[in-house]
C-alpha cells in the first residue's frame, strides 16, 4: 500500500480504474502535444507567463498522467494570466524526484508518495515553508485541521496531504433486505449479525488475501482503530501507550475470533486462496454478506453488482462499526504536495497549488480520473459524474474527519518494520503459532526501535481537531 499512485491507477484486484469519460479535449490535446524532448509539454505560444515545472508519473503508462494534466494543469494554464505550468511525463517519478532534489534540481511542484516520504525530504531542507501561503490563500480554513497538521515538521507547514482514502463496510443490500438484517453500527452488533449470517449458511465476510498479502492489514487496522479507538492508537503511535495494552489485546482477540469462526470466506484455507474476483462474486451472489475494504473497491463492486453483474443484486455501505457506534474513518494518504526549496518563483507555485486544491479541481480529478480527493469540501453536485454511493463515502469521510472522527491506516502511519510485523505475523496468530499477546509484544519491540530511530511517520496532533458533541 505504499507505491505512489497505486490507489488511482489500479484497484486492489488489479483492474484499471481510470475513467475514459474524463479524457476531454484538454487532456487529448495535451496528449497530442507531447514532444520528443524528454516528454515536455510546451507553453502556449505568445503568452508571457512565469513558467513553473511539475512531473507526472508515467511508470505504468501515460493515460493517468494525461488525464490529470487535462483535469488540473490545462484548465489552470487557460485561466491564469500570470503562471504557466510546464508538465513532464516522468517514469519512476519518485526516484527521479528525490535524486534531483538531492542535487539541487527537480520540479517546482514536488509530489511524494506519502507523509513518511515527505518527512525525509523536509528534514533534508528541500521544501519551502507553506505557512504564509496557507494564510494568504485561506488553506487553514479550507483543509480539515488534521490535514495541515500532518504536513508540519517542528511546527512549520512543509507539505499538503493529497488523495485521501478510507475503509468501510460493504454489504449485499439485496441479501440484507430479503433477510430483514439491519446494517450494524457497533462492533457488538457486527458480531451478533455475523453469528446470524453464519447460522443461515452464508459466509459473513467475503475476504481473501491470495493476490495481496497486505490485505491482512486492512482488518488489523480496522479492529485496532474501531475497538481500541483512534485516541488509543494515536497514543501508541506517539509513544504514549503500549501496543500490549488491554484495549489492543481485545481488538486483536476479536479479529482472531472472527477468523477462527470461519467468518472470513469460510475458513483460513479459503481466505488464503480466494482471489478478489472470487470474493466479489461471492458477495454479489449472496454466498457472502459483507466485506471490509477501502473506498477504492467501488469500481470493482460495480462489475459484479447491478446491471453489469450476473445476479441482479445491489450493494450498499456503512461506516465500519465501532465500539461506541460513532462513525470512524481511518485515513490513508496517497501522496503529498510541496514547493521545491530551489523554486525560482515560489509565489507562482503557490498559485497553482491553490488551484489544484480548490473544490472544483479536486472534484474534476475525482470524476474524470478516478482520483481520491484531498481533504477539502466538495460542493454539492460536484461529484455528479460518479457512483452516488462513492460520492457519499467521500463526503462522509471528509465531514466526520473534520470533527475528530478519524483513525489511522497502517500503510500511512505505521513505520515500515512494524507494519511488516503486523501484516505477516497476524497469520501466525490465526494459525495458532503465537498468542495475541505475543503478537502485540513483538509489535511493541519492533516499534520501540523505530520510534528511537525517528522513523515513525508523522501523526497529526488530535488536539488540533475540534471534537463534535
In whole angstroms, give the CA distance from residue 144 to residue 164.
11
Domain count for the chain, please give it: 2
| Cβ-contact 450, 413 below 8 angstroms | no
Residue 109 has pLDDT above 60, yes or no: yes
Mean pLDDT value of segment 33-50: 50
Judge whether 134 lies within some domain: yes
Query: Do 25 and 148 reside in the same domain of the chain?
Result: yes
Query: Do 187 and 147 reside in the same domain of the chain?
Result: no
Judge whether 385 lies within some domain: yes
Judge whether 16 lies within some domain: yes
Query: Do 161 and 171 reside in the same domain of the chain?
Result: no
pLDDT at residue number 466: 60
Judge whether 464 lies within some domain: no
Percent of the chain with pLDDT over 70: 89
The lowest-confidence range among 19-33, 78-92, 120-134, 223-237 is 19-33
In 183-301, the DSSP E strands lie at: 203-205, 288-294
Query: Do 27 and 157 reside in the same domain of the chain?
Result: yes
Ramachandran region, residue 330 (left: φ > 0; alpha: ψ -120 to 50; beta: rest)? beta
Query: Do 143 and 217 reside in the same domain of the chain?
Result: no
Query: Do 215 and 130 reside in the same domain of the chain?
Result: no
Judge whether 27 lies within some domain: yes
In whole angstroms, give the CA distance from residue 436 to residue 271.
19
Residue 229 has pLDDT above 90, yes or no: yes
Question: What is the band of 44 on the pLDDT scale with cuts at 50, 70, 90?
Answer: very low
From 315, 330, 345, give the residue that closes a domain.
Answer: 330
Query: Do 146 and 290 reside in the same domain of the chain?
Result: no
Mean pLDDT value of segment 171-180: 99
pLDDT at residue number 47: 53
Q: For the domain that residue 218 is a member of, what is the CATH number?
A: 3.40.190.10
Mean pLDDT value of segment 356-370: 96
Query: Do 42 and 71 reside in the same domain of the chain?
Result: yes
From 376, 401, 426, give the residue that closes a domain.
Answer: 401
From 330, 346, 367, give the residue that closes a domain.
Answer: 330
Query: Do 96 and 186 reside in the same domain of the chain?
Result: no
Domain that holds residue 82: 6-165+334-401
Q: Count the alpha carbons within 13 Å of 339 in the hemisphere toward its beta carbon.
A: 24
Judge whether 446 lies within some domain: no
Mean pLDDT value of segment 249-258: 99
In whole angstroms, give the CA distance from residue 107 to residue 56.
10
Cell 508515467, residue located: 58
Mean pLDDT value of segment 371-398: 93
pLDDT at residue number 381: 85
| Cβ-contact 30, 69 below 8 angstroms | yes
Query: Do 315 and 338 reside in the same domain of the chain?
Result: no
In whole angstroms, give the CA distance from residue 173 to residue 315.
5
pLDDT at residue number 380: 74
Q: Which is higher by pLDDT, 434 or 38? A: 434
Query: Do 214 and 262 reside in the same domain of the chain?
Result: yes
Mean pLDDT value of segment 227-253: 99
Judge whether 254 lies within some domain: yes
Given CA atoms 92, 93, 98, 99 in this order, what sign does their dihedral have? positive
Mean pLDDT value of segment 161-179: 98
Residue 6 has pLDDT above 80, yes or no: no
What would the grid cell of residue 276 be?
478478489
pLDDT at residue number 15: 32
pLDDT at residue number 48: 85
Question: What is the band of 467 on the pLDDT scale with cuts at 50, 70, 90?
Answer: low
The lowest-confidence range among 2-11, 127-136, 430-439, 457-466 is 2-11
Q: How does pLDDT run across 277-314, given as a tens digit for each residue?
A: 999 999 999 999 999 999 999 999 999 999 999 999 99
What would the grid cell of residue 272 be?
488464503
Mean pLDDT value of segment 385-409: 95
pLDDT at residue number 275: 97
In whole angstroms, give the CA distance from residue 423 to residue 446.
13
Judge whether 437 lies within some domain: no
Query: Do 153 and 177 reside in the same domain of the chain?
Result: no
Amino acid at each position: 500500500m505504499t507505491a505512489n499512485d497505486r490507489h488511482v491507477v489500479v484497484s486492489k484486484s488489479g483492474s484499471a480504474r481510470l475513467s475514459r469519460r474524463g479524457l476531454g479535449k484538454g487532456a487529448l490535446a495535451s496528449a497530442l502535444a507531447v514532444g520528443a524532448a524528454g516528454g515536455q509539454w510546451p507553453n502556449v505560444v505568445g503568452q508571457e507567463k512565469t513558467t513553473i515545472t511539475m512531473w507526472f508519473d508515467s511508470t505504468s503508462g501515460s493515460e493517468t498522467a494525461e488525464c490529470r494534466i487535462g483535469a488540473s494543469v490545462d484548465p489552470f494554464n487557460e485561466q491564469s494570466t500570470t503562471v504557466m505550468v510546464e508538465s513532464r511525463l516522468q517514469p519512476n517519478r519518485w526516484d527521479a524526484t528525490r535524486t534531483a532534489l538531492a542535487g539541487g534540481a527537480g520540479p517546482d511542484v514536488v509530489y511524494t508518495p506519502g507523509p513518511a516520504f515527505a518527512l525525509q525530504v523536509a528534514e533534508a531542507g528541500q521544501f519551502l515553508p507553506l505557512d504564509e501561503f496557507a494564510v494568504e490563500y485561506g488553506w487553514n480554513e479550507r483543509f480539515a485541521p488534521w490535514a495541515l497538521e500532518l504536513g508540519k515538521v517542528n511546527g512549520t507547514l512543509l507539505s499538503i496531504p493529497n488523495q485521501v482514502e478510507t475503509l468501510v463496510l460493504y454489504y449485499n443490500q439485496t441479501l440484507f433486505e430479503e433477510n430483514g438484517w439491519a446494517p450494524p453500527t457497533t462492533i457488538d452488533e457486527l458480531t451478533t449479525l455475523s453469528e446470524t449470517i453464519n447460522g443461515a449458511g452464508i459466509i459473513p465476510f467475503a475476504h481473501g488475501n491470495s493476490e495481496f498479502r497486505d490485505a491482512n492489514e486492512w482488518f488489523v487496522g480496522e479492529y485496532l482503530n474501531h475497538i481500541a479507538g483512534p485516541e488509543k492508537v494515536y497514543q501508541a503511535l506517539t509513544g504514549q501507550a503500549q501496543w500490549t495494552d488491554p484495549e489492543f489485546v481485545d481488538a486483536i482477540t476479536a479479529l482472531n475470533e472472527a477468523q477462527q469462526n470461519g467468518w472470513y470466506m469460510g475458513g483460513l484455507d479459503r481466505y488464503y486462496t480466494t482471489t478478489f474476483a472470487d470474493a466479489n462474486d461471492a458477495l454479489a451472489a449472496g454466498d457472502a454478506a459483507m466485506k471490509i475494504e477501502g473506498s477504492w473497491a467501488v469500481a470493482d463492486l460495480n462489475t459484479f453488482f447491478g446491471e453489469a453483474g450476473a445476479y441482479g443484486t445491489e450493494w450498499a455501505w456503512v461506516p465500519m462499526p465501532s465500539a461506541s457506534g460513532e462513525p470512524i474513518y481511518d485515513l490513508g494518504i496517497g501522496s503529498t504536495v510541496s514547493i521545491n526549496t530551489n523554486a525560482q518563483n515560489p509565489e507562482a507555485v503557490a498559485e497553482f497549488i491553490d488551484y489544484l486544491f480548490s473544490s472544483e479541481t479536486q472534484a474534476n480529478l475525482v470524476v474524470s480520473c478516478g482520483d481520491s480527493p484531498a481533504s477539502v469540501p466538495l460542493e454539492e453536485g460536484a461529484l455528479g459524474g460518479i457512483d452516488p454511493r462513492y460520492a457519499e463515502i467521500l463526503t462522509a469521510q471528509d465531514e466526520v474527519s473534520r470533527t475528530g472522527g478519524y483513525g489511522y491506516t497502517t500503510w500511512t502511519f505505521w513505520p515500515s518494520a512494524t507494519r511488516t510485523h503486523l501484516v505477516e505475523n497476524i497469520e501466525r496468530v490465526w494459525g495458532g503459532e503465537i498468542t495475541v499477546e505475543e503478537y502485540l509484544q513483538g509489535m511493541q519491540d519492533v516499534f520501540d526501535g523505530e520510534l528511537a530511530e525517528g522513523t515513525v511517520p508523522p501523526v497529526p496532533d488530535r488536539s488540533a481537531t475540534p471534537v463534535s458533541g
